[in-house]
Chain A
Amino acid sequence: MLTILFWVFSVLMLASAAAVVLFRNPVNSAMSLVLSFLALAALFVTLDAYFIGIIQVLVYAGAVMVLFLFIIMLLDLKAEARRKLNIAALAGGLGVLGGFVVLIVQVIKSLPTGADQFPALARTGYSDAYDVGMTLFGNFNLPFQIIGVLLLVATVGVVLLSRRSLR
């Protein structure tokens, strides 16, 4: 059962990701990206990471993509017109890409623990928000606070950058 779910959602995720790259219209790309994020959240759930899965939906699909769409609407971007293909650039990019894929596949294949099944958990189907929260506020309290400061700085920065005249 789990295997089928894994494969379904993986294919869905990869296909939507490919669609992001291939669509001409930026709005279409953004919608595909949302679909990809949702599939990814499903994959997180298959990995028994329920809290992270929900956070993925809430933050990424919910906030970040909404922001993306806001900006696309604001800038009123049209679909990309077909431009002359730069063969050299295309070849270079595809070359790097191909190399990357080969490399990753090789590395993963040579990983000794790659063929391991996941170990059994003490409890399954149980929400792990409590446990993640304990780890977060316990071991990682300082980074948590710093993240808060980071968000504050980002907010201030965005406000500054969006002023009509950058002074």
Chain B
Amino acid sequence: MDPQLYPWIILFAPLVAAAFILFVLPRHNVAAGAVGIATVALTCFLSWKVFLDPSLAVTAQINWIEVPGVFAVPIGIILDNLSRVMLVVVTTIATLVFIYSAGYMRGDEGIPRYYASLSLFLFSMLGIVLADNFVMMFIFWELVGVSSYLLIGHYFRKDSAADAAKQAFTVNRVGDFGFMLGILMLWLATGSIMFAGIEENLSALTLHPGYLTAACLLVFCGTIGKSAQMPLHVWLPNSMEGPTPVSSLLHAATMVAAGVYMLARIFPILLAAPDVVREVIMWIGAVTCFAAGLMAIQQDDIKRILAYSTISQLGYMVVGIGVGATGDVAMFHLFTHAFFKCLLFLCAGSVIIALHHEQDIWKMGGLLTRMPVTALCMLAGGLALAGVPFFSGSFSKDNIIEWAWLNNRTGFWITAGAVLLTALYTFRLLMVVFLGKPRADHAAHAKESPLVMTLPLVILAIPAVIAGYPWFISHFFDIPYAEAPAIAHKIVLGFLAAGAVLAALLYLRGPAKDPVRIPLFANRLYIDNFYNWLVARVQGGLAVLGSWFDRWIIDGLIVTGSARTVWATGYVLRLLQLGNLQAYAFFFGAGVLLVLYFLVFR
């Protein structure tokens, strides 16, 4: 088979699988799962082949829309280092999640629908990864949003799940609006939607810094929405209503990382823009990072802790875009984060299933002895997340923090402070769930999950440990390491230790409930409440306006008005029907007179 075809197969195989499952296998649970897993394994295999063949470059493009000479939107594939690595990450994690789902979703009523949606998601995500132009990326961006909607709303009979799906899609849409405006601005200025084409024409753009700043920040809006930065972060914790494998694949490892991937893709444009663009990006990332950490330390639902953790780590990646020398600084953290966060979520799923869908950590406890494999894997993931030395997370996260030291001291302090928070909530989670005595019956009778679920955990634990080491990562990225003074690293370690100690003091003894209660953080800084109020206000206002407009102007003025006008005209004209013959003759004569006058004398 011609290697040129591999990327096209990688891209379209999941779509074919999704269609096949939907139309041919809608009621065959096992077969649907088998088709899904087989397809994703195929894409994984081909992705590794593409990755290991650096000379492969795709030259074909599908001309999807073309107005000759004016506008063309091709479906094209770009295979540079960035997309190759991302291909491998996405497909490998997807394969593990697909296999894990076979165990997690057993007994669910919508398994074929689930696998079809997951395959659709994979198609969309690979489209974003392989896109070589903005419009194609935007199309697949939206498709990813659709897949996310379908998957979050998998348990659609639950109101909270349906609402969460709607919220995810709507909030994403807000960000995508800015994204679209940014794309249009760049296209208008450079005449091209291809990434390469825009980069070629950058020199013209740099003459208009204000325009370029606006365009870049608008494009960044897409990341704010998709990667759940403040203020559009509210959908991600609610997306935990979906099944846990979905949370791990979409809302930890891949979909939310698409925002960061996009920024890395357009990094040359960001570099050419005035410095204020990257400063804004850094600030938003830093604020997100810290605030999400604050909210995470007081959550009680195991998945929500991980969700806020994801938001916080995405903040780190965005900071990396803001302060790093190249896009690979952020991509490094994306790489390591994908593995350990996915691992954490899958472990959480394992715990949830073992405890019969219990998600409150204050009903868990003592699971170390009862579920050793899950516990050890989660420990590995947790240590990576906290950034403990020798685990993958520390390499990537510390690199970003040190770049911050070099470029923006305040950003450094914020991100370093977030290390303390990260350690705090991570160790809180681990200690409350696994140590101490079981706090509820289900916890007491928990058993280790079956092999189909624990095998992916073990497989993922390996990169969680080793993915950060230079001898490993150099095969994937060419990371610019920050040359920061040793003091920076020591400060970070200090914060890490402080967080760990604090967590130990509070939670090591296995309390029955949380000794610390900070309502502000537990209620997520009241941002959700604010949005609810705002939407209600705006909705309410628009509804009143719309109702008034509909009733008075459309119904009253236009509909009734036009009817009345016709009636009135008819009434007036009826008065001419006198029945009197001579009156008609008079009108006739007068008319003739007028016509003659105008004909002859004008």
Complex contact flag A–B (Cβ < 8 Å): yes
Q: Is B600 touching A96 in the complex (CB atoms < 8 A)?
A: no
Contact in complex: B597, A96 (CB < 8 Å): no
Q: Are A103 and B593 in contact (CB under 8 A)?
A: yes
A-contact 0/1 string along B558-600, CB 8 Å cutoff? 0000000000000000000000001100100110010011001
Closest residue of chain B to A100 (Cβ to Cβ) is B593
Q: Are B589 and A107 in contact (CB under 8 A)?
A: no
In angstroms, Cα B586 to Cα A100, docked, is 12
Q: Which of A121-164 contact B (CB under 8 A)?
A: none
Within the assembled complex, what's the spacing in Å between the Cα atoms of A162 and B190?
A: 91
67-125 of chain A: CB within 8 A of chain B: 89, 92-93, 96, 99-100, 103, 106-107
Q: Which residues of A contact B593 (CB under 8 A)?
A: 96, 99-100, 103
Q: Are B596 and A96 in contact (CB under 8 A)?
A: no
Interface range, A side: under 10
Q: How far is the CA of A83 from the CA of B589 in the complex (A)?
A: 24
A86 and B589 alpha carbons, distance in the complex (Å): 18
User: Taking CB as reference atom, which chain A residue is nearest B593?
Assistant: A99
Inter-subunit contact A96/B582 (CB<8 Å): no
Within the assembled complex, what's the spacing in Å between the Cα atoms of A93 and B585? Answer: 9
Q: Which residues of B contact A96 (CB under 8 A)?
A: 586, 589-590, 593
What A residues does B589 contact at CB under 8 A? Answer: 96, 100
List A contacts of B600 (CB < 8 A): 103, 106-107
Chain B interface residue number, banded: 10 to 19
Residue pairs across A and B with CB atoms within 8 Å: the count is: 22
Chain A residues closer than 8 Å to B582, beta-carbon distance: 89, 93
**B589 CB to nearest chain A CB (Å):** 5
Interface members, chain B 419-434 (any A CB < 8 Å) = none
Chain B contacts for A93, CB-based, 8 A: 582, 586
Contact present for B597 and A92 (CB under 8 Å): no
B26 CB to nearest chain A CB (Å): 76
> How near does chain B come to A90, taking the closest CB pair, in angstroms?
11
Q: How far is A31 from B600 in the complex, measured between Cα atoms in Å? A: 37
Q: Which residues of B contact A92 (CB under 8 A)?
A: 586, 590
Q: Which residues of A contact B596 (CB under 8 A)?
A: 103, 107
Instruction: Give the distance in Å from the alpha carbon of A103 to the alpha carbon of B601 in the complex.
Output: 9
Question: Within the assembled complex, what's the spacing in Å between the Cα atoms of A100 and B601?
Answer: 14
Query: What is the CB-to-nearest-CB distance from B588 to chain A, in angstroms, rounded to a whole number?
Result: 9
CB distance from A85 to the nearest CB of B (A): 14
Q: State how many angstroms separate the Cβ of B453 from the closest Cβ of chain A.
A: 100
Smallest CB gap from B597: residue in A:
A103
Complex-state Cα separation, A93 to B580, whole angstroms: 14
Give the residue name and chain of the A residue nearest to B596 (CB): A103
CB distance from B28 to the nearest CB of A (A): 83
Residue ID in chain A nearest B590 by CB atoms: A96
Whole-angstrom distance between the Cβ of B15 and the nearest chain A Cβ: 80
Closest chain-A Cβ to B586's Cβ sits at a distance in Å of 5
Across-interface contacts of A100 in B (CB, < 8 A): 589, 593
Residue-wise interface mask of A (22-42) relative to B, using a CB-CB cutoff of 8 A (1 in contact, 0 not): 000000000000000000000
Contacts of B590 in A (CB 8 A): 92, 96
10 closest cross-chain pairs (CB), A and B: A96-B589, A99-B593, A96-B590, A92-B586, A103-B596, A107-B600, A100-B593, A93-B586, A96-B593, A96-B586
22 cross-chain CB contacts under 8 A: A89-B582, A89-B583, A89-B586, A92-B586, A92-B590, A93-B582, A93-B586, A96-B586, A96-B589, A96-B590, A96-B593, A99-B593, A100-B589, A100-B593, A103-B593, A103-B596, A103-B597, A103-B600, A106-B600, A106-B601, A107-B596, A107-B600
Residues of A within 8 A of B (CB): 89, 92-93, 96, 99-100, 103, 106-107
7 other contacts beyond A89-B582, A103-B597, A107-B596, with CB at 8 A cut-off?
A92-B586, A92-B590, A96-B586, A96-B593, A100-B589, A103-B600, A107-B600
